[in-house]
Amino acid sequence: MNDSVPPATEGLENWTAIMGDIAGRSQRLLTDFVSRNSTQTAAPNNLGMADTMNIGAAFLELMAKMMEDPQRLMDAQLSLWRGYLDLWRSSTLKMMGQEAPAVINPDPADRRFADDAWRDVQIFDFIKQSYLLSARWVQETVADVQGLDPQNKRKVDFFTKQLIDAAAPTNFAVTNPEVLRATIESKGENLVKGLQNLLEDLEKGKGRLRVSMTDETAFALGRNVAVTPGKVVFRNRMLELIQYSPTTTEVKETPLLIVPPWINKYYILDLREKNSMVKWLTDQGYTTFIVSWVNPDTSMANTTFEDYMLEGMLAAKDAVLAATGAKKTHIAGYCIGGTLLSCALAYMKAKGDDTVASATYFVALTDFREPGDLGIFIDEPQIVALEKRMEEAGGFLDASDMATTFNMLRSNDLIWSFVVNNYLMGKEPFPFDLLYWNSDSTRMPQAMHSFYLRNMYLQNNLAKAGGLTLAGVPIDLRTIKTPTYMISCKEDHIAPWKSTYAGTGLFGGPVKFVLSGSGHIAGVVNEPARKKYNYWTNDKKAKTPDAWLEGAVSHPGSWWTDWEAWLAPQSGKMIPARKPGSGKLKAIEDAPGSYVKMRAN
C-alpha cells in the first residue's frame, strides 16, 4: 500500500475521533450561518436554469429514440460490460503482483488525476478507470443516438458532459486521495475550513453559491491591475473613454480605439504592465484609447443595441477624433465589441461617414450560423424564459447568470477545480489577476440582450444583407470597404474560429484573417515577450476554414507583432506625442476611471 494515503485499518479510533470533532465543529458553523442569514431573502438558485433550458424535454426525446433501437442499446451495454471485465482482470493481476496494462487512461491534459495515488494505489486506480470507462460509455452512447432534433442533441451532449464532470471521483472527499491525505494530516481542519469557505461563498452570493476563484482582496483597480497611466477624457451614460499616456516622444498620426465587450470589464487588456495590450500599443507609438462601459442597473433596462452603437461606439469614435484632431482612427472590437463594430461600419457607410482607417476584430462573430457551445443556451423557449427572469430582476440579466454560463463551458477548470480546492481541501483560492477579472462580471440590459440573442444567435440577421435595421438604416456588411484584420483563436469555445472565419466572406473590402493558438482570452492576451503559442497566416482566400488552415504558415510567438506590421503602414506620419487632456477634450479623472469600479455584486 502506498504511504501517500492512509491504510484503511490504521488509526481507526483516531479517525473516528477526528470525524466526530469535525461533525461538532461543522454543526456550530452551520448554526452560526443560519442565525446570521435567517432573515435574508435568498437569490434565485442557479439550478432554475435547467427548467428554462427545457433539458427535461431533450432527455425525454433521447430516451424515446434509444428505445426505438434496443439492439444498439444492448450492444452499448455489452461493450461497457466487456470493459469492466477487462478492468477486473487487470486489477486482479495487479493484486497478485503481476504487471498489467491500464484498460483506459485519462487524457494527458486532464489535471484531475495528476496525483500519483491515482496510478500507484490500486483502489484509486480502479476507481479512476471505472469512472473513465463509464464516462466514455455514457458519452458515446448518447452521441450514437440517431434522429434527435439538432438543438436537443446539442443539449443532451453538453449536459451529459456536465453530469459526467460533476460525478468525477475527484469531486468527493472519500474517493479523492489528496483530500483523504489532507484530512488525516490536518486532523480534519481542511473539511472544517472547507465548510467555512462554502458558507462564506453562500453568504457572498446572498443564498446562491458563488464559488470564489481567487483572493479578491489581493487586487485593486489602479493599484495592481488596470495600472497603465492615462486619463478619462470623455464620459456619457454609456461609457468612459480612456486615453493612455504616451511612452514615446513621437506617435503615429492615426490613433487607435479599442472597444471591448460589455459582457466583461475592459481591463482584460490591461491586467499588468508585462501583459497589457494597451501598454504595448503605446510603446509602439500609437495614441491608444479604450472604452470602459458602464455596468447597467434597472435604470438602463430599456437601453438597446442601437444605443450601444450610437451613444457607445460612434460617440467614442467622435471623441477620439476630437481629442486628437485626427481625420481618421483605427478601431478594434473584442468579441461582442467586434460584432458592434461591423454594425457601426455598415451604418457609417450608409451615412457617408469615412472616418475609420481600419477595422480589427478580436474573436468576434459576424455570421452566427454555427455559434459553438453558446448556441446550446439559445433557442426561442430559453429566450422567452430569460426575458421573464430579466423582468423579475428589474430589467437586466444578473452578472452571475452570464458568468455561470461561461464557466460551464469549461466546468472542470472553472467550477470543479475550485470546489475541490476551496471546499474539500479547505484552501484559499490563489490570487490570480485573470480570475479576479473573470469574477468581476457585468449586467446586461434587458432590451439590448433580447435583441442581441434573437437577431444574432437565433436568426443570424447580421449575416443577411439588410436583415438588421439600426437607427433606421438597413445593415449590410457587404458595403464595408474598410481594410479588415480578423484574429481568431484555435481553441475558442465562445467564438469558434471556423465560425468567425465565415465573416471573411461578408465584407466588401480587403480582409486579412489570422489564427492564434489557445482560446478566447489567452489567445488574445498573448504579449510577445512570453514567446508562447503561435499563429497562422495565409494571404490566399479559401472557401472553407479547413482549406485556409491547410495552406497557412505557422509562426512562433504572438500575433500582436503581425497586427502591428499590418497597422503601421495605414497609420500616417509620425507626429509629436499627444498627452491626454491636451486637445479639445480635457481630462476628467485618472485612469482607470469610475465606471470600471462599479461591481455587480
Catalytic residue IDs:
335
CA distance 365 to 589: 34
Residue 560: closest CA among 271, 249, 278, 273 = 278
Residue with cell 469558434: 496
CB 241 within 8 A of CB 232: yes
Work out the angle between the directed axes of helices 122-143 and 70-95 (0-180°, nearest 10).
170
Pairing mode of beta strands 534-537, 553-556: antiparallel
Q: Which residues of 347-378 are buried (b: 16+ CB within 10 A; e: fewer)?
A: bbbbeeeeebbbbbbbbbbbbbeebbbbbbbb
Pairing mode of beta strands 230-235, 239-244: antiparallel
Q: Which residues of 295-328 are buried (b: 16+ CB within 10 A; e: fewer)?
A: bbeeebbebbbbbbbbbbbbbbbebbbebbebeb
Q: Which residues is 512 bridged to in the sheet?
A: 485
CA distance 501 to 506: 10
What grid cell was written down for 160?
451529459
Q: Which residues contact 142 (CB under 8 A, 6 or more apart)?
A: 62, 156, 157, 160
543 burial type by CB count under 10 A (0-12 exposed, 13-18 middle, 19+ buried)? exposed
Cα 526 to the center of its chain, rounded Å: 16
Q: Quick one: CA torsion of 558, 564, 565, 571, rounded to 10 degrees?
A: 180
**3-state DSSP helix/strand/coil percent for the chain, to nearest 5?**
50, 15, 35
